[in-house]
Amino acid sequence: MPPTAPLRAARGMRDLLPDALSTWREVLGAAREEALRYGYREIEVPMLEQAALVERGVGGDTDVVQKEIYRIRPTAEGGSTPLVLRPEATAGVVRAYFEGRLNQGPQPVRLWTAGPMFRHDRPQAGRFRQFQQFDVEVIGDAGPAFDAEVIELTWGWYRALGLGGLSLELNSIGDAACRPAYLRRLRDYFRPHAVRLGPDDRHRLETNPLRLLDSKDPVLVELREAAPRITDALCPECAAHWAQLRALLDAAGIPYRLNPHLVRGLDYYTRTVWEYQHQSLGGAQNSLGGGGRYDGLAETLGYPPTPAVGFAGGLDRTVLMLDEQRGGPRPAAPPALLLLPDGDGLDLAAAGLARAARQVTSVAADYSRRSLRAKMRGAGGSGARWAAIFDDGEARRRVVQLRDLDSGEQREVGWDELPALLMTSPGGPA
């Protein structure tokens, strides 16, 4: 058989290598900490869901459902329920809230989760087919204070990471009481210009004219400036919610920009919507995270009407922006101690010594057959704190030469004293 070309990751999928993962862990750690500080409880929902949950939840006419869903073929053994890889977590979390009877305890229920989502879009910078989200949801209360809380929590997350260049875009898109009349006005406004629109946007004009407002098409960008604004057309309840939310955000000192063209790409939103945009994420990919209120979603999924609000932040894009701001990822932490046996036949001693030292710190033994010079060169560039070197004679005397790789200082240390010494050294685990 002739050799084949090396197999590569599937398009749009990527590996997170150790150095990339150090920022990743930091971003996720800060998310978890922020969620816990606000009393959110962690939940895990499956990556596979019934297709109907996503189609009805996210909306059959959205790009996500129309173009980006990974559908799973039933296996040979059967399984006729069509399944999909989840493109987002909200619909699954709402389903779990009812199935897990969380609706029967004290309300609202504050939840958070994180994990991979899947959307089959054309891959480009900041857009992947498997990506991860940090997701928070508050289910069971319609009050604007919960919208403000989720915004404050997520704003605090970005602040804790020290991420600059963010703008918080805010809008209200009304509800079932006021939106239909507004949509009629919007259609009336755009219809005379339909000939200037592409086929997709002409279709949206009839099915979901709100989406014309956030189109990147220069014709629409120009036309929307004079379009009627939904925030001028809210019913009294939506208007009161909108005013109270802004008062809460003002009191919290959170800067936001009112963006009448922000409508979001998923169908379940009512009233509040928001997005965190980053200046250096280009074009369509400038959203770092987004959320909103979705008071009608539970009913769409066949459950009792239940108001809710939530947010999802893209971890991939957040890590990308943070690394860019810092001039590259921080390297993954190396082990603190490298054990460098000098000569053959020392594996057993090195493994035993490493085992003892691991009681107090991280240790890697270099079992390779390279020369000591080569091992030392590797140790010098590794970022490790110490190297412990020993040859056959030293193994018989049960000692190592312990070298401080920063200062170059070296001293002889007995095997039995090594763990205690590492423990108490400046910069050591103690």
Q: Based on CB atoms, which residue is closest to ligand HAM, 154 or 361?
A: 154
110 near ligand HAM (CB under 6 A): no
128 near ligand HAM (CB under 6 A): yes
Phi, psi torsion values for 392, nearest 5 degrees: -60, -45
Rounded to a whole number of angstroms, the distance between the first and last alpha carbons of the chain is 57
Tell me which of 144, 260, 289, 419 binds ligand HAM, using CB under 6 A: 289
Q: Based on CB atoms, which residue is closest to ligand HAM, 289 or 341?
A: 289
Tell me which of 135, 147, 175, 394 binds ligand HAM, using CB under 6 A: 135
How many residues bind to ligand HAM according to rule CB under 6 A? 26
Relative to beta strand 399-404, strand 410-414 is: antiparallel
287 near ligand HAM (CB under 6 A): yes
Rounded (10°) CA dihedral 61, 112, 277, 122: -50
Q: How many CB atoms lie within 10 A of CB 75?
A: 7
Give 176: exposed, middle or buried? Use CB within 10 Å, 0-12, 13-18, 19+: exposed
Q: Based on CB atoms, which residue is closest to ligand HAM, 296 or 314?
A: 314
Tell me which of 40, 131, 134, 386 binds ligand HAM, using CB under 6 A: 131
Residue labelled with tokens 């009627």: 228
Phi, psi torsion values for 144, nearest 5 degrees: -65, -20
What would the DSSP string read from start to end of 87-137? S-SHHHHHHHHHHTTGGGSSSSEEEEEEEEEE-----BTTB-SEEEEEEEE
311 near ligand HAM (CB under 6 A): yes
Strands (DSSP E) along 242-366, which ranges?
257-258, 270-278, 287-293, 308-314, 337-342, 363-365
Applying CB under 6 A, which part among 13-21, 161-169, 200-208, 312-320 lies near ligand HAM? Answer: 312-320
**Least distance in angstroms from the C-beta of 31 to ligand HAM:** 13
Tell me which of 56, 86, 204, 317 binds ligand HAM, using CB under 6 A: 317
Name the residue whose CB lies closest to ligand HAM: 314
Q: Based on CB atoms, which residue is closest to ligand HAM, 144 or 314?
A: 314
Tell me which of 90, 259, 270, 300 binds ligand HAM, using CB under 6 A: 90
Rounded (10°) CA dihedral 57, 60, 66, 72: 60
Q: Based on CB atoms, which residue is closest to ligand HAM, 59 or 290?
A: 290
The footprint of ligand HAM (CB under 6 A) covers 88-90, 119, 121, 127-128, 131, 133, 135, 137, 265-266, 287-292, 294, 310-312, 314, 316-317
